[in-house]
Amino acid sequence: MANRSSEKGEPTTSSPEIVPRTRLTRRAFLGVVGAGVGTLAVGGLTWKAVQGGVFATGTGPAYAAWDALGAPGDATLALVSAAVLAANAHNTQPWLFRVSPDRIDLFADPTRTIGAMDPLLRERDLSLGCALENLVLAGPAHGLATTVALLPEASDPTHIARVNLGATATAASPLYAAIANRHTDRNAYDTSRTVALAQLDALGALVDTPDVGLAWFVRDAEKATFGELTLRATEAIIADPQQATDDYAWYRSSWDEIQTKKDGITIDPSGQSALIRALSKIVRVTQQQNNDGWLNGMRTIQVPTAAAFGAIVVRNPTDRIQRLTAGRAWQRLHLSATNAGLAVQPICQVPERIDRETTAGLPADFTTAMTSLLPSGTHAVMTFRIGHPTTTALRSPRRPASEVLL
């Protein structure tokens, strides 16, 4: 339809199809503003996404230690580079190393603890055992034989190990080769596949000393009992203000903080969906949201998709040598599982509640329940799930060797 014009050549309002200039102008104005705001919003969101590391998963200084392992350099330092990639509680990385040409001394860093989540420092000792295992595995790969003395100085409880170095033929073991590929897998596991008993036995054989062993929960009834106990322990931690606060203190939500501190629990390896991970990097996650996500993930993904659960057990959970040995065993088990294409995740809420009960004078609820699941005379120092992976587990941040030297 042809437009009609007034004498002045301006549109009139005589036809509803002819839009008056004032309205046109306003609408156009609003359109421009709207488009501008939209562009700004998208631009702002994109900027926030970039700032939050949405497009940079697993990169930057916080993750460089994972690529440094194979890089040429000093052989002795290479052992420390392997050690820092070990599993460790809350990614606190509670270690320090003193390096000399013929020896490496491993110390606990007393500032890197998780308070009421680990009141007896059980998990710290296990973590140090994990680091020691990687360090020892790296020896032959760099032509160095290692001789380990645990807790070599009675007067210094932070002196965890003295590792004397000698020469040996260079040979990288399969477990050493797995060090940079090992990641805690918090994603769903493949529920259509079980883990063969022979595979579980082979992993169990890696955890076999007089005082340290492995208990598997494979049958439906024991899996259900342990799964329920773990969910209840998760709820108990969330309901315990001190444990919940100390747990959240190691949660790193900003990309800047992750890249600066290079430690702590981060969203990428949490097992959450890609969308939740992206949103969590854009909008700061509160303690409440963190707890909700944790409990929901445990309830809907981590417990129900486990092919089996396991517990590393010791005769005396306060014996530090047994704890360190258990940590070394966990690291070996995780590396071996990685090579076998299996996924594992420590889920230690039950031992964490047991230690809390012991130190806070609480009723022995979880202590009693866990004892009834285990062989007599043994105590769980680490509990975990195992299964076949459904996706690639992501890296967690690490401080490089250069930042953990004394």
Distance CA 34, CA 11 (A): 25
Name the residue nearer to ligand FMN (CB basis): 144 or 309: 309
Cβ at position 288, least distance to ligand FMN in Å: 19
Q: Which of 302, 297, 325, 329 is nearest to 386 (CA)?
A: 302
Name the residue nearer to ligand FMN (CB basis): 6 or 209: 209
Name the residue nearer to ligand FMN (CB basis): 144 or 291: 291
Question: To 10 degrees, what angle do helices 220-239 and 349-360 make?
Answer: 50
Name the residue nearer to ligand FMN (CB basis): 88 or 199: 88
Distance CA 311, CA 385 (A): 9
Cβ at position 39, least distance to ligand FMN in Å: 39
Name the residue nearer to ligand FMN (CB basis): 223 or 395: 395
Cβ at position 345, least distance to ligand FMN in Å: 5
Show the CA angle centred on residue 356, arms to residues 351 and 360, nearest 5°.
160
Cβ at position 167, least distance to ligand FMN in Å: 30
**DSSP code of residue 189:** B
Distance CA 322, CA 6 (A): 96
Name the residue nearer to ligand FMN (CB basis): 164 or 319: 319
Q: How many beta carbons lie within 10 A of that of residue 106, not counting itself?
A: 25
Start-to-end Cα distance in the chain: 84
Distance CA 267, CA 17 (A): 54
Cβ at position 306, least distance to ligand FMN in Å: 12
Cβ at position 45, least distance to ligand FMN in Å: 29
Question: To 10 degrees, what angle do helices 349-360 and 122-141 make?
Answer: 130
Cβ at position 353, least distance to ligand FMN in Å: 11
Name the residue nearer to ligand FMN (CB basis): 58 or 143: 58
* Structure tokens, 71: 């890089």
Residues at the site binding ligand FMN, with contacts judged by CB under 6 A: 87-91, 123, 126-127, 130, 183-184, 186, 269, 345-349, 382, 396
Integer-rounded Cα radius of gyration of the chain: 27
Name the residue nearer to ligand FMN (CB basis): 126 or 369: 126
Residue 171's alpha-carbon distances to 206, 349, 401, in angstroms, are 20, 38, 22
Cβ at position 349, least distance to ligand FMN in Å: 6
Distance CA 163, CA 177 (A): 21
Distance CA 302, CA 293 (A): 12
Question: To 10 degrees, what angle do helices 287-297 and 220-239 make?
Answer: 170
